Structure 1
C-alpha cells in the first residue's frame, strides 16, 4: 500500500504500521506515567516539608491521630527497648554492601501499644547462616520519621525465619505477622531513626526525586518520536513528481 503525504510517497506495510503504532502508544503511555509519578513525588515532598515545619509529634499524639496524619511526620521522645525482641530486615544495601536493618519494638511513655523502630543498618557477613552480632541500647532517644506504609521484597516464600531465638531475620515488615510472632501489641507504624550512633541511618522517604521522573518521561517521549521517525524513513519512497 502506497500513500502520499506532503508531496512524498510512502510504502506502508499494514503489519509494520500496526507494530509502529503499538510501540508508539506504549512509549507515550510510559512517558505519561513518569510525568504522573513526578507529580506524585512533588506532592509527597511538599507534604513532608509541611510536616517538618509543623514540628515533631509527641508519642501521646500517635494514639489520637489518624494514620493519614501520622504518615511522614517526625517524632521525638524517649523509649525503652523491649528485649530480647528484634528483627533483621534482609537485603538492605548501603554503599554497595548487603546487610540488614535492625527493627525493634520499644515502649514509649504516653503510648500504650509498642512502637516499631528501624534503628538503622548493619553489615551482613559472608555466611548467611551467621547473623551479625548487634548491640541494642536499653534506652533509645527517638528522632525519626514515621511511616504507616512500608514496602519490602519477598525474595523467598517465607517472610520470617521463626527460629525461636532473637534476632530473627525477615524479608519485609508485616505488622500483623510480627505481632503474632512476638505476642506483642504493636502500633502499625514504623519509625525510621534519622540519626544513630550504633547503626547507619540510610532511609530516604523519596528515593527518586521528581526531576528524575521528568527526565525518564522525556526519554520515553523521544523514543516514541524516534520510532515514528524510523518508520517514516523506512517507508519513504521519494518525492511526488509534479504532473
Structure 2
C-alpha cells in the first residue's frame, strides 16, 4: 500500500512537471511575441529620446540619440553569434553618455574563421553623435563557467553578457541596456535591428509547449491505464 502511494505521488509530480514546462514555453513565446510587437512600433515611429534620459530606464526598447564618448577600455567580443549560416562574434565597446552614464554600444557582427582565429577590430575613439535602439542585452542562457576570458591582446571574449562581471572588469557600473547603433550610420560592422536573431522565435516556443502538453497527456493516459489494469487484477 505504501509503495502504491509513493508511486502515485511520483506520477503526480512528473505530470505537474510536464505541465509546468509546457506553460513556461507558452509564457516565453508570449513574452517574445510582445517584445517583437513593441520593437516594431518603436522602429515604425523612431521618435528619438535623449540618450541620458533613456538610459535611466532599466527595461524595454527605446529609440534614442545623443553624444557618446568612447572609453579607452578593451573591446568585448560576444562569442557564438550567428548571422545567416555563419558563426561569428558581436562587437561591443563601452562608452559614456553626456551625463556620465556608462553603457555598451553594439557595433555589429564579424565572422570567425574555421580555425577560431578571432577578428581584431580597432576600437572607436573620441566623441560621436549616435542614434539607435536601446535594448536589453542578449539572453545569457544557462550561466555555466566564467562570463568572459581575456585574450592576449586584452580583448574580452564573452561567453554571455553578464553586466555585473563586466562592470567589475571595466571598473565602471554599466547601464542595464545596450545601444545598437542605427545600421544607417557608417561606423562599426554588419548589423541590423533584429532583437531575436540568436534565440528561439515565439512560434518555436509554442511548438515546444505543444510537445510538453502532448507528453503530459500521454503520461496521464499511461498512468490511468496502469491503474485500471491493477484494479481489474485485484478485483
What is the TM-score normalised by the length of structure 2?
A: 0.69
Larger RCO: 1 or 2 (CA < 8 Å, sep 6+): 1
- In structure 1, C-alpha distance between the alignment counterparts of 2:11 and 2:163, rounded to whole Å: 47
- In structure 1, C-alpha distance between the alignment counterparts of 2:34 and 2:157, rounded to whole Å: 34
1:113 aligned partner: 101
Shift of 1:152: 2.8
Distance 1:222 1:201, change over 3 A: same
Unaligned regions of 5+ residues in structure 1, if any? 2-12
Greater per-residue helix proportion: 2
Distance 1:148 1:225, change over 3 A: closer
Residue deviations 1:112-133 (CA, integer Å, cap 9, x gap): 33432111111223444x4313
Unaligned regions of 5+ residues in structure 2, if any? none
Matched positions, count: 221
Selected match of 2:20 from 26, 29, 46: 29
Contact 1:121 1:202 in 2 (8 A): no
Selected match of 2:218 from 214, 226, 236: 226
- In structure 1, C-alpha distance between the alignment counterparts of 2:171 and 2:36, rounded to whole Å: 36
Once the two structures are superposed, the pairs formed by residues 84-103 of structure 1 within 5 Å of their partners are 85-103=74-92
- In structure 2, C-alpha distance between the alignment counterparts of 1:162 and 1:218, rounded to whole Å: 43
Once the two structures are superposed, the pairs formed by residues 1-243 of structure 1 within 5 Å of their partners are 20-52=11-43, 53=45, 55-62=47-54, 65-68=56-59, 71-77=60-66, 79=68, 81-83=70-72, 85-108=74-97, 110-128=98-116, 130-136=117-123, 142-148=130-136, 150-152=138-140, 156-157=145-146, 159-161=148-150, 163=152, 165-183=153-171, 186-193=174-181, 195=183, 198-201=188-191, 204-206=194-196, 207-233=199-225
Contact 1:94 1:202 in 2 (8 A): no
Query: How large is the RMSD of aligned CA atoms in angstroms?
Result: 3.8
What is the TM-score normalised by the length of structure 1?
A: 0.67
Residue deviations 1:195-232 (CA, integer Å, cap 9, x gap): 27652326743444443333322222222222233445
